[in-house]
Structure 1
């Protein structure tokens, strides 16, 4: 069961923006309401994926010369000659 998000009205959100951002940074979700009605949800961003440079797996992976050739029984099953 998911825990309920913290809820702030617009005035509280303006006053306590730094606190709200700290809560969101730790993974919490915060709802901002106007006149008692939820109007926005502040959620943490997904962490950015750190990618290595192109060619970083060179030499670590070997692809066989016939990797894209279908075995005869599978080729026949799909009508590929």
Structure 2
């Protein structure tokens, strides 16, 4: 694994972060001693990100669901009363 001094990391942080995000982990050293390891954050897989349809088949929607309570709603908005 690549090591870089803290001075080099300060001067080239943007480039080093871009490289780490692409999978090139590295260690930052100070006075020759390792301090921190910079690694990319694990990205969620496509299966983990999929949310639409995650409960498919778990329940059913009754017929006329989109019209339920329609009369009460119409009465609430009726301006002629």
Fold in common (TM above 0.5): yes
Aligned partner of 1:52 in structure 2 is 51
User: RMSD of aligned C-alpha atoms?
Assistant: 1.9
Look at both structures and tell me which one has the larger radius of gyration over its CA atoms. Answer: 2
Moved over 6 A (4+): none
Q: How far apart are 1:56 and its partner, in Å?
A: 2.9
Identify which of 6, 9, 19 aligns with 1:10: 6
Q: How far apart are 1:14 and its partner, in Å?
A: 0.4
Aligned partner of 2:76 in structure 1 is none
Q: Does 1:30 align with 2:26?
A: yes
Q: Show structure 1 runs of 5+ residues with no match.
A: 61-81
Q: How far apart are 1:19 and its partner, in Å?
A: 1.2
Q: Show structure 2 runs of 5+ residues with no match.
A: 59-81
